[in-house]
Amino acid sequence: MARLLIFAHRGEAQAFFNEWDLIPVNFYFTGLFKNKDHFVLITGEGPKEASEKSVAVLSSLKQEITEVVNIGIAGSLTPKLKVGDHVWVRSSYAQNAERCEFKSFTTKTHDNIDCITAYSRVTTPEEKKILSSFADIVDRELWSIASAGHLFRVDVLALKLISDESDSTDICQLVKDEAPALSKKLFTEYQNYLKKQESVAPVALVAPKSNTIEDFILTHPKLYFTTSQARKLTTLLRGLALKKILTDEEIKTFTQNLIESTAEEKTSKEISKMLLNLLGEKLNPLNTQIKNKIAEVLAPLTDTGAQANFDPELEQDYIQLNYQIRSTKDQKKLILALEQFNYQKIKDIFSGNLGDDV
């Protein structure tokens, strides 16, 4: 098993080649290397190149790769980050014209710094100002790599070194001139990361001992919770304890069984989300029945391919509809569905009228 390190340019990986005995891999394209513990991929600059080559490597080597780490330079979009600073990225976004792509990706090891992947080089203060509304740093590859990792259910981390203020007039020459020093800093920080990982005793699918069920879940190596999810977990565990629905030991067994049955196909974030949903159903089984009832009423809309969402907390009785019309046939289909849809039934459900079967 090995980690996959992904760089845009050979210069960024120079120190890694100098320090490690990396040999070329006979692959569909050049730029893939390996040693005992790592694969190293050089994609070339830009989101298209990063996406294509990351997907190709992960599709072929997924069974051998435990983690993906995107390593390279980035431009600063905020005064708090200076040239020479290194950061572990929290969330990655993608530029789409003058807005962000809806989908973003979050890593499990980070410094609360977000990155936006630009589809072209940022060369003016005006471009920098637009992108600074979305993230702290800008690069050209991370979002594509994170998207590929998500597709193949492999965790993706990102180590970035600030090489410029993002609107420098000659970024390419600057990076080329400073490549040895920049790469050495990246190598040193990556080595520090490996040492931290080695200091944590590896335990397959078993969480470290802890005093509370909350600690057991939050510190489990196969689970990952955002701050808001951790707060939700605390609320759920308190509710389950107060209502005496499940004992701590039963929750622990339930959690372990869920992890063991899904660890091969699901990421840590996906398993954690599943756990929260299942614990919520056990705490509030009526809410589950309510949501099922709402789904039945929404069937005429969802059967057209529309996305019909409602308040997951069941506090507001709204329906949010998302539907793409590409032809008059689509328009007629939606009109017919809306005629069959009875919003009053939604109002009745929120008022407590669930019918005789609940």
**pLDDT for res 201:** 47
How far from chain centre, in Å, is Cα 293?
31
Q: Which residues of 42-75 are buried (b: 16+ CB within 10 A; e: fewer)?
A: bbbebbebbbbbbbbbbeebeeebebbbbbbbbb
CA pair distance 183, 72, nearest whole angstrom: 8
Write out pLDDT tens, residues 73-101: 998 998 888 888 999 999 898 886 555 66
CB 24 within 8 A of CB 58: no
**pLDDT for res 171:** 53
CA pair distance 139, 209, nearest whole angstrom: 40
Global confidence as pTM = 0.56
Write out pLDDT tens, residues 196-210: 887 764 444 555 555
**pLDDT for res 32:** 96
Query: How long is the chain?
Result: 358
Domains of the chain: 2-199 (3.40.50.1580), 213-283 (no CATH), 298-350 (no CATH)
Candidates 52, 272, 77; CA nearest to 141 is: 52
Which of the residues in the chain have pLDDT under 70? 96-102, 165-176, 200-211, 313, 354-358
**pLDDT for res 311:** 79
Residue 325 sits at φ, ψ, to 5 deg, of -105, 115
Write out pLDDT tens, residues 110-162: 888 899 998 888 778 888 888 888 888 999 999 999 999 999 989 999 999 99
